[in-house]
Every structure is written in structure tokens, then in C-alpha cells.
Structure 1
């Protein structure tokens, strides 16, 4: 392992927490464009100081996405930070090899699930942990990535691989405006890293379930409850039948979950419900399983149990499955060898939730996720990371970038 990377991270440990606090204290809920853009501008300053070229993909509804690309090793001259530029190690055959290599892709999102008016709008530390909105999901991961790259610059190793780092603004709402960008950059990459938080036992993610979110609407016929017969065209009653049918799609042995998460309908207890709706979540392990589930759901929607009712469904969002394939497993094994040498615990994990790694997996390249700091209770006001893991994961990630060809 590279001792210069470890020394740099340890020497700059306080600065990591300074940047983390600064980013966490900028409110950046997914629909707070102003706050997200402020985070992006702050990160661009850090990336440009290392010689990265920064471009913003402008958005109107969501925050702007930041795309940072590592400096061309063939270009000479000092960079803005005074960090060491590529010197003798980045010349000759190394430069030629770098030009021919496909890029390494890194991704991390700047948005959080917390809305602009949340009371959870502070950063706090105790002896062992840091707390705050997005500290784990995933501003801590952004800090890990930035400082791993700073260490790589300091060790004069930035020439080894071309790197593109995407900081997107909308991951928590399904990446609607960044999905095409991520897929396009993944198609140009050899492999990818995503800096979501690591698990409490040192897990890093080698696979993720896919998901599909559905909105189901049912229309019936309104009427007074006092005059309702057994043939009443109640939208709620039809939705109840469909809810039971949908829940029967659960198949734990195949890694499939189906959940009707919210239901709404009706005007009051003395009326026959004319309208009802439900929000449904599916999770699955295998590629193509979403289409199979969609076909089954379409049959349920088309089947009318209560005469006089009509139903329709809309797919509102989704991400494909990220299988624990042999390429990801082999990639993890190489990372584990480095981690063992650094005396850092890592374990492979099939994570139930989704991330932008699911989108990257569509490109058919190896992708490892969960390389950010170790944390938990994200999406709640108890969100935290373990303080010691911030530097630990930056050291590990810096060595991964330096060593894996």
C-alpha cells in the first residue's frame, strides 16, 4: 500500500471534518435547487484546486449536476492548488497508456431526503460519531472521495487513470434528470465506484436489488352509503381486492418483495368511494424481473372484481437490479486484499436498497458501492457516521484508485 496516501489523510484529518460540516450545514433536500447548487459550487472549488476540469449540467427543476474530470497528464504547468502535478511518473509510456485507457467512474449525490423546512438542519459531533442531514447519505462519501483524490495528487499518482467524478443532485428521488448522464459516462468506463455509506460491520456493496414504484388508481361510482347495496361500485373495495392480489406476489425465496405502502380514497364514512389510489413498491434480484412483475401487475389491474369499477397503473420510477456477478465478486476480492493489508475490515453485501450503482450496472462494467464512511439510521433524524471511518475509508479508497489497474 502507498504510505504517502495514508500519511496525507492522517495529516489532513481535521480538514475532512471541516469540509463535512460545511457540506452538511448547506440544506440540500432534493427539491431545494438553490441549496444543492451551493453544494455543487463548493465541491467544484475543491475539485478545480486539484486540476480537475468542472462542468455543470444545468437543470431548471432540480439542482445542477457537477461533472469533474481529472487533469490531462500531457498538459504541463502548475495547478491552482500547488499540489504536486504529474511529474516524471506521468510521462512517456505512462502517458500513452493513460490516453488509451477507458476512464474510472466515481459517483456521489449531493441531495438529501430532508425538505428545506426540516428541523434537522444542524451538524453535531460527539467522541465517536458525527450527526446531521446527509452525513451518511451521502455527504460523508463525497468527503471520502474528495480527500482520496487529494491524497492521490499529493502522492503524484493522478496520472495512473483518467477519472470522472459525477456529483448528481437527484438520487434520492430516483435520479430522473441524472440517469442519462450516469449511463452515458458508465458506457465510457472500465469500472465504477459509488460512495454510499458502508455497513456497520464494514460491508461494501457488491450487489443491490432493483426496484419499481407503481401508482395504482381505481375509479368507482359515488353514492350515499345509506342506499348502498351489495353491488355498490366502491373504488375502495376494488382496491382492497387488488391489494390482496398484489401482496401475494411476494416471493422471498426468489428475492421478490411486493408492498402496498400507502392507500387513499373516499370522502367520508357515509359515502361510497368514487376514487381510491395506492402506492406500491417492488424489489427484485434478477435482471428482467421488473418486466415480469409489471406483466403480473397489469393482469391484476385488468381483472375487475367489483362491477362498475375501473383501474389503471403508472410506473413512477425504478432502477434495474445490480446482480452480485462474478466480475463484482472478483473486484471485491482485490479490494479486500488491500483492506486486509491496511487492517481495515470489509465484507461483501447484497444491499436491499437501490442507488445509482443500479444504473451503472446496466453498462455491464464492474461496480462497487458502499465505499463511503460507516454509518446508519440514514433517512432519519438520528443519521450518523462513525468518526474513525471517515479517514479509514479515504485511505482505503485512495489506495484502490492508486493500485487497481
Structure 2
């Protein structure tokens, strides 16, 4: 992995002290402030265009709204359609700067969880608070990217910067096969020295936090078959104990034997009976049964979230071992779907946060301590984190993500864009 100079990590152990912004950096600060209302107007237009992941034309409409924004900044824009994975596609914007300097990958997404049939469709504003579908996740983050790039352009630091902006169109529900849906992002990760993720800013007890790690997002599916018969024979040694007792044994063993730091696992659906059948949509099941019949089948589905690939593999194997230790007359199988990998904490990520805290010093802002990984879910930056130094949570601060009433603190657009513009400008000036 390419890492920042670890000497920068020493900043994390020093006392915060105010320093002087350069004249160029002061231009960036004032440019973000001056453009605030136009940035909010762009945010309103983006939010009012529905772009639920499955609304292919809606996601593409948002993409077309963004194309001229990046072209005006001197970026070469590529529309990457993803019909072959059942999704709208991505927008990649590329800016070639000075050879041999830091290559930066900025990551966000254009889709939301709110499909056209959702009653929550419209941007509204009260003072410095706004609500709307996807306003936090992740259209606010997209506006932060553009605001930071405009500030760099005004200050003259964009010209020499090597930047790829990757805005995916299916972050909320990745297309399949996932290797094809994320092939372009993975290629950009191989190119980059630094990746910045513009999902929402983490705030804890009123303090902005840094995100140097995020956990994986995987799923598992359990299927159990068992001998059936009259319930009067259920505990006889030659008879089956039934599928439901076996399912209960497995799930309770998960609960008692698996827990460890930074690991969570959930059972989101369970059904047992004669028969129990998982729906084709994977979010429903049908079952029937009688109290005097030993149930012949059971199904369950859940998730698995880990902080490292080692933890993923080790815990998955432990789950397989638990499942294999079957009760009499039963047979169980577990299948995993490994979707979003973890963004593990690394020295390079910590050094990158230290660089951001140097920016905070100069802006007179509080330092951003690293938030516990268990507080953040998976995101697209996780795909590239094994290849490069990565820092997430660079987007705006909101609340109620994925629910009607999703809200954004508009003031956070300003400080996040200022932080990003100065950090990227400093990195862009460094040789690699």
C-alpha cells in the first residue's frame, strides 16, 4: 500500500495550535463562503430529481445535471453505463495535473434509497437546515466535492492537481455481479495515492469526527432440512428433533460464541415449519405447520459486519463450524454473500487524518478524533481502501439518513468544503 509519510502522524500527538492560512488558502475559504447560496441551489435541484437506485432514468438525469458542473472546472467527464448489471451507471470526472504529484480519488454517489413511489420527494429549507431525499446520503457530499473544487480553481491550486471523481449510481444497492459493478472504481483505486470518501460527516457529542475505518457489509443465509413425523416422537433417539430446534440451536450459538470487538451479526428473517420457503425476493418467507408435526424445514437470513478481511474469514468459518454440528435428524447449510469489504484502520489512514487536523488547526476548528468503526457502516471507499490511504466522512453533516425527513445542516457544507479544498491543495503540491 502507498502510505503518507508517517512523520505526519506525529501531528496526532501534538497539542492543537492556531497557525496562519496562506493567502491562497484564504482565497479558498472565502470562495466557499461566497458560493454558499449557489451551492445550496444546486443541492436543491439535485434533491428534487428522484434518483432511487432502481430509477435508472432518474439516476442518469442527476448525472446529466452534474456533467456541466465538472466540465466547467476543466474535468474530462466519462459516463459509464451499467446496463449489464441492471443499474444506471456512474460518472467519472478526471483532471490531469502536474506529473509525479499526489493522485487523489474522490468518491460519492448519485443514487438514493427513495424510489419514485416514496412519498418523500421534495427539498425544503428552514434557515440553515434543509430536508429532502438523499440530501445527506449522498447529494450533500457531491455538493461538498464541487464546492471544494471551485475553491481550488479560484485559488489556482486545481490546475496542478491530479484528481479522479468517482460518483457511482448504485451505492445503495450494488449491481450484480459486484466485480463488474465496481471494476471502474477498483481501477481508480489502483491509480490513486489517496482516496477521500464524501459520505456524511460523523458527529459525536457535538464534535466533528474523522473516519479512518469502516466495517464490511456481508450477508448469510441458513437453510435447514429435517425428518418429519408425529410430534410424540420428537426426542426419541431415532427420530428427528425437527428443523426449528436446529435453527434455534444455531442462532443461539451465534449469539453466545461469536461476539468480539468490532463484530456485529444480525438475524433479520427466520421461518420454520412444514414447509418453510424463502421468497425469491430474499426478504420474505412462507410457512405452515401444525403443533403435532415435527417441522421439516427452516430458513434464516442475516448480516455480518467486520473490521478486517481476516475477521471476516475467521468468523465465517466459525459460523460454518457451528452449522455443521447438527442435531439428530437434521442437515444444515449456510451460504455467505460477501458484498462490501471492510475499510480497516491503517497507519496511512491515521496519517491522512493527521494531515486533515493540520488543516483544522489553520482554520481554527477543533480536531477530528477517529470515530469508533462500529459507528459507521460500509461505503464505496471500502473497495479501494486496501490499495491506498483512505479517509471517509468528508461529506456534510446530516441526520435521519434513509428515512423520510432526512435532514442536512447546511452550515456543514461550508466547513467541509473548506477542509477538503485546503487538504487537497496541500496534497496536490507534494511529489510522490
Normalising by structure 2, what TM-score? Answer: 0.81
Q: CA deviation at 1:402?
A: 1.1
- Structure 1, residues 326-358: CA drift from partner, whole Å, max 9, x if none? 211111111111112212333322332111222
Residue in 2 aligned with 1:155? 155
* Partners of 2:227 and 2:76 in 1: CA distance: 60
1:82-117 deviation digits (Å, cap 9, x = unpaired): xxxxxxxxxxxxxxxx22335210110112222331
The yes-or-no answer on 1:112 pairing with 2:112 is yes
SS at match of 1:68: strand
1:183 maps to 2:203: no
Q: Residue 372 of structure 2: SS of its match in structure 1?
A: strand
Aligned positions of 1:135-214 closer than 5 A: 135-174=135-174, 176=178, 177-200=180-203, 201-214=207-220
Number of the residue aligned with 1:379: 402
Q: 1:360 aligns with which of 352, 360, 384?
A: 384
Structure 1 pair 30–306 and aligned structure 2 pair: CA distance change class (3 A): farther
- Answering whether residue 283 of structure 2 is matched by residue 260 of structure 1, we say no
Q: Does 1:349 align with 2:355?
A: no
Return the alpha-carbon distance in structure 2 between the equivalents of residues 272 and 44 of structure 1. 61
Q: Does 1:290 align with 2:312?
A: yes
SS at match of 2:422: helix
User: Secondary structure in 2 aligned to 1:159?
Assistant: coil
Instruction: Note the C-alpha offset of 1:368.
Output: 0.5
Moved over 6 A (4+): 225-228
Please, which runs of 5 or more residues in structure 1 have no aligned partner? 74-97
Asked if 1:243 is matched to 2:251, the reply is yes
How far apart are 1:55 and its partner, in Å? 1.0
What are the Cα deviations for residues 48-84 of structure 1, in whole angstroms up to 9, with x where unaligned? 12121111221110111111101x45xxxxxxxxxxx
Of 21-30 and 263-272, the range deviating more from structure 2: 263-272
Paired residue for 1:77? none
Structure 1 residue 205 displacement after superposition: 0.6
- Of residues 90, 93, 110, the one that matches 1:68 is 93
Which among 20, 29, 52 is matched to residue 29 of structure 1? Answer: 52
1-side partners of 2:133 and 2:78: how far apart?
A: 26
**351 and 226 in structure 1: CA distance in 2 versus 1, 3 angstrom threshold:** closer
Is 1:18 aligned to 2:61, yes or no?
no
SS at match of 1:67: strand
Identify if the C-alpha distance between structure 1 residues 315 and 51 changes in structure 2 by more than 3 Å, giving closer, same or farther: same
Give matches, 1:29-68, under 5 Å. Answer: 29-60=52-83, 61-68=86-93
Distance 2:406 2:81 in 1: 30
Shift of 1:243: 0.8
Distance 1:8 1:33 in 2: 34
Contact 1:374 1:389 in 2 (8 A): yes
- Decide whether the 8 Å contact of 2:258 with 2:315 is kept in 1: no
CA-CA distance at 1:14 after TM superposition: 0.8
CA contact (8 A) 2:307 2:373 kept: no
Indicate the residue corresponding to 1:320 in structure 2.
341
SS of 1:173 mapped into structure 2: coil
Which structure has more relative contact order (CA 8 Å, sep 6+)? It is 2
How big is each residue's C-alpha offset from its partner over 1:207-257, in whole Å with a ceiling of 9 and x where there is no partner?
Answer: 12233211222233566x7777444563333211111112224324x3222
SS of the residue corresponding to residue 193 of structure 2 reads strand
Out of 120-129 and 325-334, give the one that drifted further.
120-129
Q: Which stretch has the larger CA shift, 333-342 or 173-182?
A: 173-182
Quick check: 1:235–1:276 contact (8 Å CA) kept in 2? yes
Shift of the 151–178 alpha-carbon distance from structure 1 to 2, 3 Å rule, reads farther
Q: How does 1:270-281 map to 2 (within 5 A)?
A: 270=290, 272-281=294-303
Does structure 2 retain, via aligned residues, the 8 Å contact 1:246–1:260?
no
What is the RMSD of the two structures over their aligned residues, measured on CA atoms? 2.1
SS in 2 for 1:115: coil
1:123 to partner: Cα distance: 1.4
State the partner residue of 1:83: none
Q: How many residues align?
A: 376
List runs of 5+ in structure 2 lacking aligned partners: 1-20, 274-286
Label 1:258 to 1:5 Cα distance change in 2 as closer, same or farther (>3 A): same
Looking at structure 2, the residues matched to 286 and 65 of structure 1 have their Cα atoms a distance apart, in angstroms, of 27
